[in-house]
Amino acid sequence: MERITLKAEKRPEAGKGAARTLRRGSMIPAVLYRAGGSLPIKLQKPELIKFLKQTSGEMVIVNLQFPEGETRLALLKDYQVDPVRRELLHTDFFEVSLKEAIKVTVAVHIKGEPIGIKRDGGILTHGVSQIEVECLPDQVIGHVDVDVSPLGAGQSLHVSDIKLPEGMKVLTHKEEAIAIVSLPSKAEEAAPAAAAAEGAAAEPEVIKKGKEKEEAAPAKK
């Protein structure tokens, strides 16, 4: 999969005051987590904002490149945005190893128009919008496309119908509905079930927004 390189520096500064000073200097405070430990780091604000816009919340392997010549592989775990000014405040990364499997969420993108809508006047109801998978970091994909055009009225697609690359293990229940095409008379019955399934799905970790949180303490050496 594609990797994006971001320049990072280890961060001796700690506390909210130091974080505000960093942001005024076009740097964003961050924390790199790994195996129960954490390392405070900082990244260049323009690069980080560009990265967030490019990936749009999808999982992407990042090369965190440090001035000392060290490079660490990581996934963006979370980021915080000021709820009023809509400014980026802080990011969290999770360090990964290419030899260790990880659990991630993958967005489900529905493509096409079901034949049951064009031919039979049916109604398309969306189910879960993301699935959880387990795979090696190099196998992570940002999203999976699901073609619903063959669906006739009364038919549906489930998690078990999704085709993923070899080596990816689906953890979401295989009977969860992805899409349902119902006739108008049955649409009211299908909608609550699909809405409940979607509500049960976990929120993507990478798009949580909230108040500025306290800086994580540097990992003990």
CATH top class, domain 3-96: mainly beta
Q: Are strands 156-158 and 130-135 parallel, antiparallel or unpaired?
A: unpaired
Query: Which one, of 216, 4, 3, 203, lies nearest residue 90 by Cα?
Result: 216
Global pTM reads 0.68
| Domain residue limits, the chain | 3-96, 102-200
Question: Would you give per-residue pLDDT tens digits along the chain (221 residues)?
Answer: 568 899 999 988 778 888 888 888 899 999 999 888 899 999 999 999 999 888 876 788 899 999 988 999 999 888 899 889 889 999 999 999 999 999 999 999 999 999 999 888 999 999 999 999 999 998 988 889 999 999 999 999 999 999 998 889 999 999 999 999 998 765 455 555 555 555 554 444 444 444 444 444 444 44
Beta bridge partner(s), residue 107? 130, 143
Interatomic CA distance for residues 169 and 212, integer angstroms: 35
Under a CB-based contact definition with an 8 Å cutoff, are residues 180 and 146 in contact? no
Query: Of 1.20.120.80, 1.10.460.10, 3.30.420.40, 2.170.120.20, which CATH number belongs to 102-200?
Result: 2.170.120.20
Under a CB-based contact definition with an 8 Å cutoff, are residues 136 and 99 in contact? yes
